[in-house]
Each structure stands twice: as C-alpha cells, then as structure tokens.
Amino acid sequence: MNKSEITQIGFLISPGFPMACLTSMIEPLRVANEIAGKDMFGWQLLCEDGAKVVSSAGVGFEPDATLSEQLDVNLLFLLSSPLGGFQTDKRVYSTLRSLDRHGVILGAISGGVFPLARAGVMAGHRCSVHWCYEAAFRTEFPNLHAADEVIIRDKRRYTVSGAAAAFDLALQLIEEKLGMDIAHEVACWFQHPMTPHKGARQRVPVQTGDHRTLPDLVSRAVSLFADHISEPIAVGEVATHLGVSPRQVERAFKKATGQNPTQYYRSMRMKVARQLVLHTKDSIADIALGVGFATSTPLMAHYKEAFGVTPQEDRAQINAFRVQGNAPLPSV
C-alpha cells in the first residue's frame, strides 16, 4: 500500500493524561485495520522529551518519538490534564502552530483542549469541553467558544469531551475512510453504540439527572440559574422571567428534586466552585467572586457543607495526589 493512503495520527501525551481516552481511540482504529485486511490507520505516541509518560491510572507509556522530531502525521491529538503543561511550553506551542501552518489537523481529547488553547490555535474555532472542566476553561479562556457537544469538528480542529467521545470520533474517521459497514462492524466488535448524531450533547450529572429531563418549568429555571453563576439571580426574578409565581417555582422544585430552588441553585454554584478549586490555580477569593460571593467567607462555609472540606483542604488533597500519583482527578 502507498504510505500516503494511510491516515497517520499522532497522540501528544503529557503526565497525568487520561489513559482511557488514548485507548478508546486507538483500539477501534486497530480493529478497522484488521477488518479491512490492511493498514488504513497508523498511530504513534509523542511526548516532549522522549521520557516515559505516566497516565492518570499510573500506567507508564513509552513514546515513539518526541514532538520536535520529524513527523509524518495527518492529525495530532493532545491528551493532558487541565493543569498539565510542558517543560518548555513556548517551544511546544510554537511546534503546534508550525504543524498547523503545514496542514496538520490539530485536536484534543478531554483535558487536552487546555494546552491546545494555550498554544493559541483555537481562536475562531468552537471546541468541545467536558462538563467537569467547563468552569475552569471559561475562566481561563473567556474569549473562546466552548460548547457541550461531545464531538466538535470545526474546520481543522477536532475536539472531543471524553473517552466514549474519542471512540465515537474514531468511528467517524473509520466511516469516512472505509465506509459505514466497517464502522458498524467495529462498533459491534466492542458492543459500542454507533456514533451519535451530529451535535449530540454531553450527559451532565445534576442532583436528579440531566436537567433536560426535568419538568419544563424546573428545567427552564435551572437554565437561568446556570446563566447567572457569577451574578446570582433571585428566585423571584426567575419566576417573573418564566411568567409564574415564586410559589409555583418552589412547588415545582420540591416535587421534582426534593429541594427548594435556593438549595438547588447553591448546589450548582458549589459544583462550579469545586471545578475551579480542582482545575485552576485561581485564588479562593477570585473563585468566590466567580460563583457570586463578595467574599470568601460564605463560599468556605457552603463549600464545607457541600463537600465536607474547605476549598483549601480540597485543593491540598488533590495536589498531594497529583504529586504522589502524577494524576488529575477526576480524569475523563
């Protein structure tokens, strides 16, 4: 086979990267090659300096090459934790921009979207950001268009929100190169559902499941709450906006969630606060402002009530784990 017929994919891995995201993309490509009876996809693991890279699961991977070595890839995906970086960020980011100029499709899986954005190659592109990293991403990159779709292929940028989404993207690549029949056979091989329709959105855990499955009144109220995390909105204002009475909102929340709307709203804000505590280096004071508190005192009280620890204790615990196990939590 002519080497140019093979789609070559590079995976740039950095310490603490989510291992499942890597294997979820490579395995369907491997099986597609087996079914096709020839190598239609190739892949290589890349890193910054050639040293073994330890994943979030504590499993080490020996790279095939360094990023600075001569590459022959059509697509390059970054896999990283949100706070993951490189020893020489400027050099890596410069290499990524050079690859972009030479026509390589750049992408990211899960937390890899953070270093991809830091490289300065995402301006003007939509990107998929996993729900547990959304608050951290929007804080660091307020001018980028983050979306909750599981897969976004925007021109020459491919971003996906987690391991299952990486598998789905692999199925899309297989279907485009080898046809629907082989893509379907690969999905069946792993007992994986066929790739979701274009624009499929992430499933997001809230107190009672995805808020899109809640009663219409509650769901619309939750959407308003989500739009007012840093500048809280009163329940009375929500009721006015929805054209109902505050009492109706109270009853609807109690019936659907077992909580009153104020409790539910505060829980939403605490979840955003925890994302910022775990996945950014922002000060606790700045995080308090980001979730609608004038000072850190009420944040710390509500945070401890929600999670059993203060923000400082939570961050210290996760940082200790990262140092000892070289892994981010949660890793998706």
Which residues share a beta bridge with 128? 147
Q: Return the pLDDT at 75.
A: 97
For residues 42 and 49, is the Cβ–Cβ distance under 8 A? no
- Write the CA distances from 153 to 147, 253, 271, 312, integer angstroms: 12, 37, 28, 38
In DSSP terms, which residues pair with 54 in a beta bridge? 60
Place of tokens 């330890």: 54
Q: Nearest-CA neighbor of 77 among 49, 112, 50?
A: 112
Query: Could you read off the pLDDT of 236-295 as tens digits, one per residue?
Result: 999 999 999 999 999 999 999 999 999 999 999 999 898 888 888 889 999 999 899 999
Radius of gyration, alpha carbons of the chain: 22
For residue 212, CA distances in Å to 169, 215, 228, 245 come to 24, 8, 18, 22
Contact of 8 with 73, CB cutoff 8 Å: yes
pTM, entire model: 0.76
pLDDT exceeds cutoff 80 at 212: no
Band (pLDDT 50/70/90 cuts) for residue 327 is: very low
Residue 199 has a pLDDT of 62
Residues 251, 257, 263, 265, CA torsion sign: negative
Distance CA 308, CA 314 (A): 9
CA distances from 236 to 1, 183, 221, 247, 294 (A): 68, 51, 11, 9, 21
In this prediction, residue 148 carries a pLDDT of 84
302 pLDDT exceeds 80? yes
Compute the average pLDDT of residues 159-168: 93
Task: Report d(CA 274, CA 267) in Å as an integer.
Answer: 10
Selected residue with higher pLDDT from 77 and 210: 77
pLDDT at 153 exceeding the cut of 60:
yes
3-state secondary structure 179-245: CHHHHHHHHHHCCCCCCCCCCCECCCCCECECHHHCCHHHHHHHHHHHCCCCCCCCHHHHHHHHCCC
What is the pLDDT, as a whole number, of residue 19?
Answer: 94
Residue 6 in this model has a pLDDT that exceeds 70: yes
- Whats the size of the chain, residue-wise? 332
> CA-CA distance, 288 to 309, in Å (whole number)?
15
Closest Cα partner for 79 from 98, 94, 61, 104? 61
Do the Cβ atoms of 281 and 274 come closer than 8 Å?
Answer: no
Distance CA 188, CA 194 (A): 8
**For residue 98, how far is the Cα from the chain centroid?**
25
> Exposed (0-12), middle (13-18) or buried (19+): which is 158, by Cβ within 10 Å?
buried
For residue 315, pLDDT over 90 is answered with no
- State percent of the chain over pLDDT 90: 66
Q: State the virtual CA torsion across 137, 138, 143, 149 in degrees, nearest 10.
A: 80
Q: How far apart are CA 29 and CA 50, in angstroms?
A: 24
